Amino acid sequence: MKYLFFPSLDSTNSYCKREYERLDDSTLVYTYHQTQGKGRLGRRWEDDEGSLLFSILLKKDLAEERVPLLSLLCSSALFLTLRDENIPSLIKWPNDVLVEEKKVSGILLESVISERLDALILGIGINVNNEKFPDDIKEKATSLFLQTGKRFDKKRLLENYVSHFEKLYSDYQRGKDTFLTILKENSYLDGKQVSLNYYGENKEGVVLGIKENGNLLLKGKKGIFEVQSGEVTLENSYHKRSNAL
């Protein structure tokens, strides 16, 4: 992995998108502050000096059909990084990591497609030393500092994340999906009643698990079904709004 650091950027994802042609495969761009941090579904991603913000640019050997698995791989790498710090977490399909049911990170995958898939950008924001969050998200967001009372060296955490990512990614490239085992064993949604928006359609069911292809498997009123992506909302729980981040 090659590291590129900027004290401030509009967004590490946007930077990778603009510069992908001249940047090498496996370049990691990180910054202390983003002026236009992007979240999923067109939302903004706010940060403060406690946040760890980076994007990994991938250009080689990209198999389009296996791309959705990569956000699961990023979440699994974070799970392992937190485990090394003795912070138990759970992975909420498809791309959130929760500590004590609160979101500690965000993952935004973006692609550059011309005739084929030219580049993939894996953008990751981790709440590390953040002391507080804006009112509208403070019920559902947390940081490693708020969970442990300890401050973390962000660069060390980043390097540990990268070492987990590289191992999982090299297995993935060889067709060995180690990250799926981690995910399946530490999945937050298993057994939960959820509803989700799947391409504009509302679907409900109990989560049975995660399949080898990374899809979420559910049991609904009409039987078993699976979804490839979607915004999951928990039913009958005060975390019903947990995806509004």
Question: Quick one: which of 34, 129, 215, 233 contacts ligand BTN (CB under 6 A)?
Answer: 34
CA distance 57 to 233: 30
Question: Quick one: which of 45, 161, 165, 169 contacts ligand BTN (CB under 6 A)?
Answer: 45
Pick the piece of the chain touching ligand BTN (CB under 6 A) from 100-108, 127-135, 139-147, 150-158.
Answer: 100-108
CA distances from 86 to 3, 5, 51 (A): 26, 28, 19
* Contact flag: residue 29 with ligand BTN (CB under 6 A): no
Site string for ligand BTN, 106-125 (x = CB under 6 A): xxx--------------xxx
* Contact flag: residue 102 with ligand BTN (CB under 6 A): no
Closest to ligand BTN by CB, 125 or 214 = 125
DSSP of 104-166, one letter per residue?
-EEEEEEEEESSSEEEEEEEEEEE-S-----TTTTTTB--HHHHHS----HHHHHHHHHHHHH
Amino acid residing at 142: T
Shortest reach from residue 10's CB to ligand BTN, in Å:
8
Q: What angle do CA 240, 137, 230 make, to 5 degrees?
A: 45
Question: Quick one: which of 39, 137, 198, 206 contacts ligand BTN (CB under 6 A)?
Answer: 39
Closest to ligand BTN by CB, 54 or 93 = 54
Closest to ligand BTN by CB, 165 or 205 = 165
* Contact flag: residue 53 with ligand BTN (CB under 6 A): yes
CA distance 140 to 240: 10
Count of C-beta atoms within a 10 Å radius of residue 8 = 9
CB 141 within 8 Å of CB 127:
yes
Amino acid residing at 148: T
* Contact flag: residue 18 with ligand BTN (CB under 6 A): no
* Contact flag: residue 17 with ligand BTN (CB under 6 A): no
In the complex, which residues of this chain contact ligand BTN (CB under 6 A)? 11-13, 34, 37-40, 43, 45, 53-55, 106-108, 123-125, 245
